[in-house]
Chain A
Amino acid sequence: MIVFLTTMLWADPLEHYVQGKQHAQEGRYEQSIESYLRALEERGADPHIYWGLGNALYQSGEELPAKIAWIRAQKMQPWNSDIAHNLSASDLPIEGPMVPAEYLSWLATVFFLGGLWGWQRRKDMSIVLFLSFFLFLWFSLRAMENDRIAYVVSQEVSVRSKPSVTGISLFLLQKGDDFRIIERRSNNYFIERENQKGWIGGENLLSLNPKDTFFIPEETK
């Protein structure tokens, strides 16, 4: 208990975040990335940490992880024009940020409740609300699907027949290849790319979902 409380007291995400900013300002991008990653570990998904991390990665020449970090930040703060400005620095063909699925599903629920409430009062308005509900439900599903998109961040990785290194290598993926995550089992992901399916280790990929672990490959650190 004492150890836990001590850890809680010592673990200050703000401190690491500020350190990350300072390192970046002084041009020490590797230390900056380390600090931001520690802040992420302690704080969890945070738009400002992702934002700073994206900047540090971009400055150190890692364009792909940088863009993914910015996309994650933008997903959490869709109204933030500064993050959108940074995103325009990269031309990598990654599907842009979408409004979070939670927000869209909330709007869909509001429209659904409104439609139900108005059914006995004004049927025409109620139908419009129900149509809006279906529209936002579709947007919400699309946003959920966007969260499943991930990119290879290692130089080369084997996609295997089972979630361990003993699985047969089915096909190879290179850095920057995109794919869709179907299932997650511990730190292994079952993925699909161009009708080919297989398992890949979590340390080789970065998804667009802000809640997923942000992994930086060894060669970047």
Chain B
Amino acid sequence: MVFGAQTMERGQSAELVLELQDLKIERPPLIPADEGLRIQSRSPSPSRIFKMINGQSTSILRYRYKVVALEEGEWRLGPASVRYQGRSYVAPSQKIQVLSPSQKTNEIARVEAFLSESHPYEGEVVSYRFRYEKRGRSQQNTWNQPSLSNWDMVSGLEIETQKNVVLEGGRSVEIFEWHVPLKARQEGRYEIGPGEILVSVPVKVGQSSPRRFFLPETELKRFNTDILIGNVRPLPPAPTDYSGLVGVFQLRAYPSKRVAKVGEAIEVVLELWGNGVIEGYRWPAWTVDSMEVHDDEPQYEHRMNEGLYASKMMLRRVVIPLVEGKQVLPPLQIRVFNPKKEEFELLESDPFSFQILKGENTELGLDSFQEKESDSSAVSSSELRSPPSELGRSVAPWWIVWPFTLVSGLWLFRRKKAPQIRSKPVLPGKLPIDRAKRLAIFSSYFDALCSYCEEEGSELPSSKVVHIKEQLYLARYGGAEIQDLEKELRALGGA
């Protein structure tokens, strides 16, 4: 038993070679390992070489195993024992020290594996995601798929690979992701072995030389993910009309036309899509006496779209009406198991109603049909009503009435002004000495007094008014005494 490593880091793997000299064994012998290690045969058939030892030809069978360090601690690998022709041959066991990943290892790469659903239902499709963070100058080599137990890979689909670059502490980290769609096989325990990536890492040895600068020496490192273990849940007791589909699905069905003549083919497109496997599904048939039904070959496609599985099936179904009148096809119903809701659900299309007119070989035309079926609300293309020649109103009428509403609102709630009580004008007791200013005050006082009396309905003696008007006129040119005028104005105001 040849295994060079005495210590390993968690997540790393190494190769173990079991050499059998002159022993013929059909299958690779089982080598026991403690729970912190996982050992797995690389291939069922060994490599065989012949050597001449002491002049005799000796055959050597080499079985290769992959040993993955799963948990930190000291673990025992082996012993390997082989029984051949009644005799036992034993290779001694070996102790392996598993350490936590060093900082240097973490600087090279990090790997992780996830399942989109860790407790799937049987038949459910989940996405296995292997994530590899490439750090430093390491070169990515190859990704090895993990071993699967109680899973089936969804056939006919390429594994989706994504690459992103993120900045972490000022350094760019390339993140590669592989997405694999897996279908849970049956109720019970499942296991997904460690996903492994082989990375070649440059080795710093000796003096730098031009050759090493251009062709640096590298060593191959293996990085492994943890094993994923869980349980596949059974489906609840299924109803009799269960289609066998597991996933979140949507159904749609639409006809190419709704008005046709007797004998004219109507194509109905049926579409079913979701995140479960649909391949091999048979669409439920329609049995309608008044129509012939013919199915085309169903078209199926599926893909991984940004880490999620999506599938779609389309069927073109041709129905040929045999009888005129209103024909109704029943809605299409498919019962599926929805893992998100954890229950069976019924997908149902809308029912289809068709207006079937008389065929061309009969005398009954469209007009007579309309007479017979005047209660029908269906409108054919030829009956569409056309818009008028001018454009419609770009400003809708309710916008026009808005200003009226606003104005009427303002009018309803306007503030009513309080009635103003006008007081009788009064000639000030102290008047300016300047003649012109005094005369101006007299003139404005006289006007205010006249308008006040007019509004109040009381009349001033007209002779007095005429007289004061004349006096004011004469006073402007020095023809009247201003003191007399003041007296007369005060007397008029007092009256």
Residues of A within 8 A of B (CB): 13-14, 17-18, 21, 24-25, 39, 43-49, 51-52, 55, 58-59, 61, 76-77, 82-83, 85-86, 88-89, 91, 93, 100, 102-103, 106, 109-110, 113, 116-117, 158, 168-169, 172, 174, 176-177
Q: In the bound complex, what is the Cα–Cα distance between A168 and B394 (angstroms)?
A: 41
Majority DSSP secondary structure for residues of A touching B:
helix
| 405-434 of chain B: CB within 8 A of chain A | 405, 408-409, 412-413
Does B386 have its Cβ within 8 Å of any Cβ on chain A? Answer: yes
Q: Which residues of A contact B386 (CB under 8 A)?
A: 21, 24-25, 52, 55
CB contact between A103 and one of B273, B308, B398 (< 8 Å): that residue: B398
Q: Assess the A106–B254 pair: CB atoms within 8 A.
A: no
Given contacts A102-B398, A113-B405, A174-B252, contact A55 B390 (CB under 8 A): no
Q: Assess the B379–A176 pair: CB atoms within 8 A.
A: no
Q: In the bound complex, what is the Cα–Cα distance between A82 and B383 (angstroms)?
A: 11
Given contacts A76-B392, A158-B305, contact A174 B273 (CB under 8 A): yes
Give 6 A-B contacts (CB < 8 Å), ordered by A residue: A21-B387, A43-B391, A52-B386, A52-B387, A91-B378, A109-B405
Shortest B315–chain A CB gap in Å is 15
Q: Assess the B405–A55 pair: CB atoms within 8 A.
A: no
Does B385 have its Cβ within 8 Å of any Cβ on chain A? Answer: yes
Residues of B within 8 A of A (CB): 250, 252, 254, 256-258, 271, 273, 305-308, 310, 350, 353, 377-381, 383-394, 396, 398-399, 401-402, 405, 408-409, 412-413
Q: In the bound complex, what is the Cα–Cα distance between A44 and B388 (angstroms)?
A: 18
Q: In the bound complex, what is the Cα–Cα distance between A49 and B399 (angstroms)?
A: 20
Q: Which residues of A contact B392 (CB under 8 A)?
A: 46-49, 51, 76-77
Q: Assess the A106–B398 pair: CB atoms within 8 A.
A: yes
Q: Which residues of B contact A116 (CB under 8 A)?
A: 412-413
Q: Which residues of B contact A102 (CB under 8 A)?
A: 396, 398-399
Q: Assess the A88–B387 pair: CB atoms within 8 A.
A: no
Q: In the bound complex, what is the Cα–Cα distance between A18 and B377 (angstroms)?
A: 29
Q: Assess the A58–B384 pair: CB atoms within 8 A.
A: yes
Q: Assess the A113–B394 pair: CB atoms within 8 A.
A: no
Q: Which residues of A contact B378 (CB under 8 A)?
A: 88-89, 91
Residue of B257, B378, B389, B394 most packed against chain A (CB within 10 A): B394
Q: Assess the B405–A88 pair: CB atoms within 8 A.
A: no
Q: In the bound complex, what is the Cα–Cα distance between A197 and B307 (angstroms)?
A: 18
Q: Which residues of A contact B379 (CB under 8 A)?
A: 85-86, 88-89
Given contacts A86-B385, A106-B398, A117-B412, contact A169 B390 (CB under 8 A): no
CB contact between A13 and one of B254, B353, B391, B409 (< 8 Å): that residue: B391
Q: In the bound complex, what is the Cα–Cα distance between A208 and B226 (angstroms)?
A: 52
Given contacts A14-B391, A106-B405, contact A89 B384 (CB under 8 A): yes
Q: Assess the A55–B399 pair: CB atoms within 8 A.
A: no
Shortest B309–chain A CB gap in Å is 11
Shortest A109–chain B CB gap in Å is 6
Shortest A164–chain B CB gap in Å is 13
Q: Which residues of B contact A168 (CB under 8 A)?
A: 306-307
Q: Which residues of B contact A113 (CB under 8 A)?
A: 405, 408-409, 412
Q: Assess the A176–B254 pair: CB atoms within 8 A.
A: yes
Q: Which residues of A contact B273 (CB under 8 A)?
A: 172, 174
Q: In the bound complex, what is the Cα–Cα distance between A39 and B310 (angstroms)?
A: 40
Known: A82-B385, A89-B379. 8 other contacts (CB 8 A): A44-B394, A46-B391, A48-B390, A61-B257, A103-B398, A106-B402, A109-B405, A158-B306
CB contact between B384 and one of A48, A77, A86 (< 8 Å): that residue: A86
Shortest A14–chain B CB gap in Å is 6
Q: Name the CB-closest residue of A to B310.
A: A172
Q: Assess the B252–A176 pair: CB atoms within 8 A.
A: yes
CB contact between A55 and one of B256, B387, B402 (< 8 Å): that residue: B387
